[in-house]
Amino acid sequence: MLKLHHAPNSRAGRIVWLLEELGLQYDLNRMDFHPKDLKSDAHRDRHPLGRVPVLEDEGVTIYESGAIVEYIVARHTDGALKPAVESALFPEFLQWFHYCEGMVMPPVNTIVVQTILLPPERQNKEALEQAKRLLTKALAPVNLALQGRDYMIGDFSAVDIMLGHACYMSRRLGCVGEELAYLNDYLDRIDTREAFQKGFNA
């Protein structure tokens, strides 16, 4: 059985969401988002930096949420949640799949550090404002791409697991303005998915 090592309010929620969407059986090891769990010797044996998510699958151990999503879709589905290589949608699928970690999550990470993880005396207002500006710019193309679509490439796919989760976190941080109407509608649709709720609240 698949085993997922998870901590709340992390990218590991993407993997729970994916597993629930696919109806796969899995064992969830819930850990506190705290060094006592994440930096323990046991967890460092799974991930050298003591981070989540980590997936174990019959002797395979893999980390990085994007890699895990691709692994599960490739190994545990019969072509689900991903267009075929010859499909006209495949290049767009790849683009938005990697846009998530390349463009959206870096400023999200900075915002989380500057507003949540650092004590007030160590927070940098200039770094925070710059990250917010970068995130606004990064979300604008996503908003435009969603015009006339329910999901990023039309039908629900693994791209939505990656980028949808990142955009949802961006809205939770107060960084998705009303002017991003298509994106807000998209996030409302995601929010109604039972599998998403299970993943986000795991």
| Predicted confidence (pLDDT) at residue 28 exceeds the cutoff of 90 | yes
Verify that 51 and 108 share a domain, yes or no.
no
Q: How confident is the model at residue 201 (pLDDT cuts 50, 70, 90)?
A: confident
Q: What is the CATH number of the domain that holds 142?
A: 1.20.1050.10
Helix orientation angle between 12-22 and 65-76, rounded to the nearest 10 degrees: 20
| Predicted confidence (pLDDT) at residue 120 exceeds the cutoff of 90 | yes
Q: pLDDT tens digits, residue range 53-107? A: 999 999 999 999 999 999 999 999 999 999 999 999 999 999 999 999 999 999 9
Verify that 26 and 95 share a domain, yes or no.
no
Q: What is the mean pLDDT of the chain?
A: 96
Whether 81 is in a domain gets the answer no
Verify that 101 and 176 share a domain, yes or no.
yes
Q: What percent of the chain has pLDDT over 90?
A: 92
Name every residue whose Cβ is closer than 8 Å to that of residue 52 and which is 6 or more positions away in sequence: 5, 6, 7, 10, 11, 12, 31, 38, 63
Residue that terminates a domain, selected from 76, 98, 114: 76
| Predicted confidence (pLDDT) at residue 35 exceeds the cutoff of 90 | no
* Separation of alpha carbons 164 and 15, rounded Å: 12
* Separation of alpha carbons 135 and 99, rounded Å: 12
Verify that 188 and 136 share a domain, yes or no.
yes
Residue that terminates a domain, selected from 20, 52, 76: 76
- The dihedral through the CA atoms of 170, 71, 97, 183 has a sign that is negative
Whether 110 is in a domain gets the answer yes
**Domain span at residue 65?**
2-76
Whether 201 is in a domain gets the answer no
Q: What is the CATH number of the domain that holds 57?
A: 3.40.30.10
* Separation of alpha carbons 54 and 7, rounded Å: 10
Residue 44 is predicted with a pLDDT of 92
Verify that 71 and 99 share a domain, yes or no.
no
Q: Judge contact between 166 and 105, C-beta under 8 A.
A: yes
What is the SS3 string spanning 78-116?
CCCCCCCCCCCCHHHHHHHHHHHHHHHHHHHHHHHHHHH
Q: pLDDT tens digits, residue range 9-22? A: 899 999 999 999 99
Whether 160 is in a domain gets the answer yes
Whether 60 is in a domain gets the answer yes
Q: pLDDT tens digits, residue range 139-182? A: 999 999 999 999 999 999 999 999 999 999 999 999 999 999 99
